[in-house]
Amino acid sequence: MDVDVNGGSRRRTSSRSTSSEQSCEEDQMDLRRGPWTVEEDLVLINYIANHGEGRWNSLARCAGLKRTGKSCRLRWLNYLRPDVRRGNITLEEQLLILELHSRWGNRWSKIAQHLPGRTDNEIKNYWRTRVQKHAKQLKCDVNSKQFKDTMRYLWMPRLMERIQASSATAAATTIGVSSSATSTTSVGNFHRNNNNNFPNVGTGHDGVLVQGVTSDFSGHLAQINANYTPENSSTANSCDSLGNQVSPVSDLTDYCYNLPISGNNQNYNFQGGQIGYFSDSLISPSGYFNQGLDFNQPMDQQSNQWFDATANGVVDQSENLWNAEDIWFLQQHFGCSSSNNNNSM
DNA sequence: AATTTCCCCAACCGCAGTCCC
DNA sequence: CGGGACTGCGGTTGGGGAAAT
């Protein structure tokens, strides 16, 4: 991401308008807009390869591109730059986006700094198309506490569990041992590790005070990301036709999550990865687990009618963040009603 | 098969911040 | 110090492909 890492990238190192730049200025008439052509891309790539980036307005003129400097900059940074990472957002990246967005809000460029190769535009699009869509499905405002808690207590733990599961599977595969998602790896055993080598999260990076829920969760993130690179991501192990990495499970959709849950109000154990850290490090959303529900009662006995409807495919579980049990849970605890059988977009 | 609707994402726009003259 | 030029950021739009009807 293009940021003022040292406060100096915007600093002009030469006088505003050199003679060579001025000689180019007559080329700036009838500016083009809209999609870039292959020829334009090549011109821009070649010019930057020879002259470097920056000074976008003069670059556009001198390269002979009938584009604004802003357009050239955007095209380069979001598409042509060699280190732009293409393909689906991986689970790790999704988790990181959710975590960082919960901390910083719509600071896309800042979030993008922590996802190498991803652009602010891409993250922004991801958020708008995926996250906000699910908020609408739940008829929650994406900025509401309800939805944020939903992300924190359902979505993010789920992501972590999926990452754990795929990591365990990959590891077992590597050593030739069959494995299942019920690995002995316990998410609940994660603890803040300030020695992690993922420096950007969980350790007060950027002057952000990381504490409480965020702190501990960031510790988990740090663990997850300590060994993460785009190359070794457990979920980025396939490629599309262009050779770009594509996550086989890039969305929060198809995972069958196993409730019911422990009846303890805050010791909220999910099958699979053990999410016992809720009781220690995460603050239970007020009252969410404390409404007298019998979690030990089978889900389908509690909500037969609705469950049947979802099980019959009214809810497209392959494309929804929330499976039937989740939505039931959300209805019970958050007052969010599912709109999966319609489209509120 | 044709049409409509939905969804994704590249690109644009406006604004604010920064730098230099 | 003010103003113009430039850059970067976040919000928004619209084209095109996919899915649904």
Strand B: which bases are under 7 Å from protein Cβ?
Answer: 6-14, 17-21
Is residue A326 one of the residues assigned to a domain? no
The model's confidence at residue A303, banded by pLDDT at 50, 70 and 90, is: very low
Is residue A345 one of the residues assigned to a domain? no
CA/C1' separation A285–B20 (Å): 52
A308 residue type, one letter = D
- The mean predicted confidence, pLDDT, of chain A is 56
Nucleotide nearest to A108 (CA to C1'): C10
Nucleotide nearest to A124 (CA to C1'): C10
- pLDDT tens string A228-258: 333 333 333 333 333 333 333 334 433 333 3
User: Percentage of chain A surpassing pLDDT 90?
Assistant: 0
Are both A129 and A98 inside the same structural domain?
yes
CA-based nearest residue to A299, from A320, A317, A321, A326 = A326
Strand C: which bases are under 7 Å from protein Cβ?
Answer: 5-12, 15-16
- Residue A40 pLDDT exceeds 80: yes
The model's confidence at residue A29, banded by pLDDT at 50, 70 and 90, is: low
Are both A60 and A138 inside the same structural domain?
no
Are both A26 and A103 inside the same structural domain?
no
- pLDDT tens string A105-123: 888 888 888 888 888 888 8
Q: Taking the C1' atom of B7, which residue's CA lies nearest? A: A129
Nucleotide nearest to A251 (CA to C1'): B8
Are both A202 and A70 inside the same structural domain?
no
**Which of A59, A80, A101 finishes a domain?**
A80
Is residue A144 one of the residues assigned to a domain? yes
Are both A174 and A57 inside the same structural domain?
no
**Which of A296, A312, A335 finishes a domain?**
A296
Reduced to 3 states, what is the DSSP secondary structure of residue A53?
A: coil
What's chain A's Rg over C-alpha atoms? Answer: 24
Are both A95 and A72 inside the same structural domain?
no
Is residue A308 one of the residues assigned to a domain? no
Is residue A225 one of the residues assigned to a domain? yes
User: Higher-confidence residue: A238 or A74?
Assistant: A74
Q: E-assigned strands of chain A?
A: 238-239, 245-246
CB A263 within 8 Å of CB A294: yes
Are both A71 and A97 inside the same structural domain?
no
Q: Taking the C1' atom of B17, which residue's CA lies nearest? A: A10
Q: Looking at A15-24, A52-61, A188-197, A327-336, which range is the least confident one?
A: A188-197
For A52, what's the count of Cα atoms within 13 Å in the CB-facing half-sphere?
3
* Overall domain count for chain A: 2
Is residue A199 one of the residues assigned to a domain? yes
Are both A165 and A51 inside the same structural domain?
no
CA/C1' separation A141–B17 (Å): 31
Which residues have CB under 7 A from strand C?
A 1-4, 9-10, 16-17, 34-35, 54-58, 69-70, 73, 106-110, 120-121, 124-125, 128
**Which of A258, A281, A296 finishes a domain?**
A296
Is residue A329 one of the residues assigned to a domain? no
Q: Which domain holds residue A30?
A: 19-80
